[in-house]
Structure 1
């Protein structure tokens, strides 16, 4: 059996699934296109959908002759159908896609899900047990440490957004370059230690019922807003992702530090300060102490 593995830069446990499939003796296929070409391919088929959905589709279409595709699950926010059923919705929209199997991207329920998937792929219970044991070393994912909060001669801002946006350079790379060009030191939510983020999320009023993605966003905002070095918060959502944008707007409204809610598109703006007027105005607001607010859509006090 040939199994496709989406090498998403946002996946926390990509190395686990790669090692597990190797131990199972399954032939693993990875996307054959560079990320920019995969994104363009997905945009051709799903012009009106969000950037992460387009990128995921492009990567799937770049998998040649696979019987199934393992897809790391996304952390959903309220009203986010794509994160909750990405494979199912893609199959409804695009005919001829291979069987898509969602897999956990955190340690919670990981081995039980891996065992079920292993039996489905190999029909060999003994081989599955051995593969689970050998792949267990990768189950914790990469170790995350608190990123530096200060940089010489730069003002620090926190950037909070879905991991499936911020971790993908093909989607958020221009935002990173623009912030750097503006002389800002950005600390990104997806680079924060997840255990600490989730501890902070326990302060949410509705933590028991909040979707995973909203808990992660809340925890990251709580961590960064409490740091004295962080002068302001930027809440970034992918273009055409209404659910993430609404969740970030709700979160930004709770902040006491200067905040900006913005959307990020790919391939439409040059990575220069002048192409991001809302960022330039926000930089001036937190560095110069300007009393006049720039008229920018989505900005929150």
Structure 2
């Protein structure tokens, strides 16, 4: 059996799943096309869908003949059909795709999902148990560290957005370069310690029933906006993704710092509105500091 493994949608556990497949002796293939070419493949079939869906489809199509493709599971927001059921919706829209298997991003269910996957691929319980034991150290997703919140001669801005966008270098690279060129120091929400984001996400109103993606966005905003070094909030939505745009618009009204909501498309390198945002952040920083409006949070 040949299995494709996607390192897309901002996954933090690609090393875990790759190691598991290796221990199971499964023939594994990974995408290798340049991101622009993969995105073009997806856009050809789904021209009006969100950019992260187009990229995932392109990555699947480039794999060619495989028996199954393992796809990281996204954290959905309200009315986010693609986030809730991407591996179910894609085969309905595009015929001839291989079997798509959604993989959880951490949590208690990851171990059970790994066991089920191993049984499905090998039918060898003993080998699966041994493989799980060997890859267990990778299940934590790595050490959590708070990124630097300051940089000499640069104003710090929080960049809040879904992991499927900001956690994927193929989609977020243009924005990172644009912010650097503007002389800003961006702190991206997927780079934050996941446990701290989750803890603050639980403070969200109706957190028990809120979608996981909205709790994650809220938690990242709360973690960063209370830091005195952070001078502005940039909220980023995947292009053509109405569900995320609506969620981020709601979130923008919950911060007292200068905020801007933008769309980010694959291959995009310029956002004219960012220059005005930069000016608001840098010109207003001294006044806010003088009045003590940015009280820091421990």
TM-score norm. by structure 2 comes to 0.93
Match of 2:261 in 1: 261
Which runs of 4 or more aligned residues in structure 1 lie more than 6 Å from their structure 2 counterparts after TM superposition?
A: none
Match of 2:154 in 1: 154
Deviation at 1:9, TM superposition (A): 6.5
Deviation at 1:212, TM superposition (A): 0.9
State the aligned residue count.
285
Match of 2:136 in 1: 136
Distance 2:202 2:141 in 1: 22
Match of 1:117 in 2: 117
Look up the SS of the partner of 1:235 in the other structure: strand
Distance 1:287 1:241 in 2: 30
Gap runs ≥5 in structure 1: 291-301
Q: Map of 1:224-235 to 2, 5 A cutoff?
A: 224-235=224-235
CA RMSD of aligned residues (A): 1.3
Contact kept in structure 2, 1:107 and 1:140, CA below 8 Å: no
Distance 1:143 1:63 in 2: 31
Q: Deviations over 1:133-159 (max 9, x none)?
A: 111111011223111000010000000
Gap runs ≥5 in structure 2: 286-298
Distance 1:87 1:266 in 2: 21
Look up the SS of the partner of 1:143 in the other structure: coil
- Selected match of 1:278 from 273, 277, 284: 273
Match of 1:297 in 2: none
Q: Map of 1:1-301 to 2, 5 A cutoff?
A: 1-8=1-8, 10-267=10-267, 269=268, 271=269, 275-289=270-284
Q: Decide which moves more: 168-177 or 125-134.
A: 168-177
Deviation at 1:65, TM superposition (A): 1.7
Deviation at 1:11, TM superposition (A): 0.7
Contact kept in structure 2, 1:29 and 1:64, CA below 8 Å: no
